[in-house]
Amino acid sequence: MGTRHRGTIEEINALNAFIKLQRAAESVSVRIHTVLPENLTITQFGVLETLHHIGPLCQGELAEKLFRSGGNLTLVVDNLEKAGYVARERDPADRRYVVVQLTAKGESFIAALFPKVVGNVTREMNALSSTELADLGRLCKKIGLHA
């Protein structure tokens, strides 16, 4: 379904491409994340996956990497901390600096879950050839970096 906006051809083309991009991203994301446990949100998974691959991060850096507001991420980390998956530690030299890190339980949990998500991503992206995947990656990066 395209836009019903009656503007210039440039506006209509941009809106139609944006609608398709958004719908495809949401559709694929929902299907990929069907392997997530019922009580784990996509954002919580993103926090665990980021910490698993990058290591401990300041809560502000984590928010930037996940494109989330500080307030939103605080709630997400609160819930992961209650579940025992992450721990926070304040820098003794600067109490405003809060580092978030995986606990042993969190590391074990994400290490077991991540391969299932990777399998779903791989199956979803198999709809495209290697060349198409490279093109998609390049185009997404171009849009993402456009200022």
Domain 38-145 has CATH 1.10.10.10: yes
74 three-state secondary structure:
helix
Instruction: Give the Cα separation of 69 and 50 in Å (integer).
Output: 16
CB-CB contact of 33 with 58 (8 Å): no
Share of the chain above pLDDT 70, in %: 99
Per-residue confidence (pLDDT) for residue 23, from 0 to 100: 93
Q: What share of the chain is helix, strand, coil (3-state, %, to 5)?
A: 65, 10, 25
CB-CB contact of 124 with 136 (8 Å): no
Give pLDDT tens digits for 19-38: 999 999 999 988 888 899 98
Q: Which backbone phi and psi does 78 adopt, to 5 degrees? A: -55, -50
Residue 48 has pLDDT above 80, yes or no: yes
Residue 69 has pLDDT above 90, yes or no: no
